[in-house]
Amino acid sequence: MLSHKKEEHTLWYCYPAENFNEALPMGNGRIGACIYGGVATETISLNEDTLWSGYPKEIAKENYPEIYRKAAALCQEDRMGEAQRLLEHNFGDYLVQMYLPLGRLKIETGHTEKYASYRRELQIDKGIHKVTYHIGDKKYKRECFVSHDAQVLVVHLTCSHPASICLSAWLESELQAECQAIHGVLTMEGYAPDCAAPYGDSYKSADYQIYAGDPAHKGMGFAAMLKSRVSGGRTRQDGRCAMISDADEVTLYVAARTAFEAWNRHPSDSAVDYRKRCLADLYMAGEKTYNVLQKQHIAFWKTLYDRCGISLNSSVGSRKPTNERLKLLAEGEEDNALYALLFNYGRYLAVSASWKGTQPMNLQGIWNEKLIPPWNCNYTLNINTEMNYWPLLACGLHECYEPLIQMVKELAESGRVTARVYYEAEGWVCHHSTDLWRLTHPGTNRLKGNAQWGFWNMASGWLAVMLWNYYRYTNDIEYLTSIYPVMDAAALFYRQLLSEQDGELVLSPSASPENNYLQNGEVYALDRSTAMTQEILWDLFAAVAQAQDILGHKNEYAGYLPRLKKPQIQNDGFLCEWDSRHAVWDPQHRHLSHLYGLFPANQFQEEEKEAARKVLEQRGDGGTGWSLAWKINLWARLGEGEKALKLLHNQLTPIHGQCDSNDYPGGSYPNLLCAHPPFQIDGNFGAVSGMIEMLVQMDGNGAPVLLPALPKKWKNGTVKGICMPGGKKVSFKWVDGKVTEYQLEKTEIKI
């Protein structure tokens, strides 16, 4: 039923990438690669998903519970400034560590002469990157992919004429590493640093990256290796470089491994022989020809990619290069195929960056080439990590959801210590951000003004609800039994901290990330409660109550739900973000935390939806890339297809590849990755989720509602294989805005 139009499944360009935001991403969940597509010199930046700075550390055991109780008492007395200063100066510890770049594969071809007919493309339906160009009468082709089966990056070079491939290839890294050639294999081995900054400071430079010699303070060990398979020609090694001349075709294999064993195991104590594993990956892949590896890769890829998709009516502009399509769309040219490409690209990115047994996607998925990445390239848990996983279950990519589930289980272990040390509470808690080492304490480094983000302690509640969502899609009792203790322990933590206020239960003090309000001319981030806090509590308690009923446990939370304070509607009709009405600090703030109850939750009735609408109107149609994506989902949930399309259009605003400043509004880089700016991947997944909301929702009885927010420009289209809670999968086609074909199936989803 789903037509396959190339313009909805291919990104392509007439020039090589000049920077990281023009390079095209590939991956297998563990190994990430961004390909520049150069002619004289090809650059492929490399990542490995466990290559983080630092190692497991104990949190300081200070008088945190006393500080928290004092801050809560000050809050109840409406002494918000004192409570906030107390928490900011005393309630928090070291920052999260950094996700670091592994290095680069460099290939020099010697093609410095004039070339023609250049094209680089990313075939997202196959997971294949291709570069082609002519020099004289010779056509050169370079293909690459990252294999899930073989666990290597594969690069294949050919020419239309025999004995025409000449190249030099090597590995390099900005981390401390040594490169050498051993028995036909180029090796690069090194260690990651530990990142440390004094209280009141953040990581400002590489000076804060500490390379220690003693094992107790030594960072992650890593290895990358390069091997070639050559048909014809000559091969030799010159120091740290592989040199090939007059070959008919060349295949390069790159493997990478680290010493990572577990989130709570110091890499120096690891039993993982990462060098041996890396070499084994290389030799096992090298036993297969390129054609065999490619055939296996495409077959694997299509079993995932072909599970679902959308197609929209195409246009003339859709046959142009992707960067030109972005510009033309901004200038008013119709290109519905570009929206479909963005949707399909999001699914491609999920399969590339998150796979069972790997780490979950961070702020940049798995792609980072900076030693000091924006926001440490961490897991920001007050929206961004969750947004990465919003559309995956609906797209049937349950294997890609598994890393999130595993991380939450690990955070629950770490978070039990934080709950005890910081709050003297049972259960577990996680704050605003985390890293490979599953940090759960307020990682504020006691920076000035950190209460608006660092104190927020609702991540464990939201993440526990994400675990529940997997059960909603699968009805898998065995899975529910396994994750119920994590959900229950998250709810237990909050239950102990609840206090009664005017006959209602609230969690006080609370923050609404990452916003402030004005009171008597002062700026505050804390209040006696916030809408988002209460909405997450409602979602969590309701999920645990349902799980207890399903599993035959005593229902401990049904009685709490009616007593939880709900978001208030102000006299002017706006949904109140705080405990009570305050003067607005930033009328167009990027976060829409108090609209959590509208989306991703589904708690609001008509009156609350109208109050949310007024908030959205005030916040406007601008914002960072991920903020635009959230607004797409919110407007779609309100049934406003035209508004949702306008926000989707804004998210596709072209941003120059060299723009990394967050002073600019959001949009998309030439490689279609979300521009915060700088690059953050969450907006890509938020856009996919928003498009699903525009095309399929669910009514109160669990039945699909088709085309609930269809914009006029999307007159014709097809949806295939969108999964829904309850184990259902829907496919349909519409013409002139009316559904003409429809199919509802049962689906089996299990990890």
H, E, C per residue of 33-46: EEECCCCCEEEEEE
The three-state secondary structure class of 653 is: coil
Q: What is the pLDDT of residue 3?
A: 64
Give the largest CA-CA distance in the chain: 83
Cα-to-chain-centroid distance, residue 499:
35
Gap between the Cα atoms of 158 and 68, Å rounded: 65
pLDDT at residue 313, as a whole number: 80
Which of these, 474, 478, 483, lies nearest to 411 by C-alpha position?
483
Q: Which of 430, 436, 435 is nearest to 413 (CA)?
A: 430
| CA 222 – CA 220 distance, rounded (Å) | 6
2, 343 Cβ separation under 8 angstroms? no
CA distances from 180 to 171, 189, 519 (A): 9, 9, 63
**Among candidates 102, 728, 86, 42, which has minimal Cα distance to 394?**
728
CB of 726 closer than 8 Å to CB of 744: no
Pinpoint the alpha helices (H) of 306-335. Answer: 322-330
Whether 579 contacts 533, CB under 8 Å: no
pLDDT of residue 663: 67
Nearest in space to 11 (alpha carbons), one of 315, 366, 347, 341 = 341
Enter the tokens of residue 373. Answer: 């990445």
CA 412 to chain centre: 20
What separation in angstroms does the CA of 136 have from each of 109, 133, 163, 203?
15, 10, 15, 50
Give a three-class secondary structure readout of 94-154: CCCCCECCCEEEEEECCCCCCCEEEEEEEECCCCEEEEEEEECCEEEEEEEEECCCCCCEE
Cβ 113 vs Cβ 140: under 8 Å: no
Task: Provide the residue type at 709 as one letter.
Answer: A
**Separation of alpha carbons 465 and 468, rounded Å:** 5
Domains of the chain listed by start with CATH number: 6-52+98-305 (2.70.98.50), 354-620 (1.50.10.10)
Q: HSE on the CB side for 182, CA within 13 Å?
A: 10
Q: What is the pLDDT of residue 62?
A: 93
The distance of Cα 209 from the centroid of its chain, to the nearest Å, equals: 25
Q: What is the 3-state secondary structure (H, E, C) of 571-637?
A: CCCCECCECCCCEECCCCCCCCHHHCCCCCCCCCCHHHHHHHHHHHHHHCCCCCHHHHHHHHHHHHH
44 contacts 103 by C-beta, under 8 angstroms: no
Measured CA to CA, the distance from residue 102 to residue 99 in angstroms comes to 10
Contact predicate 116/133, CB 8 Å: yes
Supply the DSSP string of 355-424, one letter for each residue. -TTSPPPBTTBT----SS-GGGG-EETTTHHHHHTTTTTTTT-HHHHHHHHHHHHHHHHHHHHHHHHHHS
**How many residues make up the chain in this entry?**
751
The H or E element spanning position 67 is helix 64-76
Query: What does the pLDDT look like over 681-710, one tens digit per residue?
Result: 999 999 999 999 999 999 988 899 999 999
Assess contact for 362 and 22: CB atoms under 8 A. no
Question: Residues in the chain with pLDDT < 70?
Answer: 1-3, 315-317, 663, 749-751
| Per-residue model confidence as pLDDT tens digits over 160-204 | 999 999 999 999 999 999 999 988 899 999 999 999 999 999 998
Backbone dihedral angles phi then psi of residue 510, each to the nearest 5 degrees: -135, 155
Which residues have C-beta within 8 Å of that of residue 462, sequence separation ≥ 6?
A: 381, 386, 536, 539
Give pLDDT, residue 148: 97
Structure tokens at 315: 């246009």
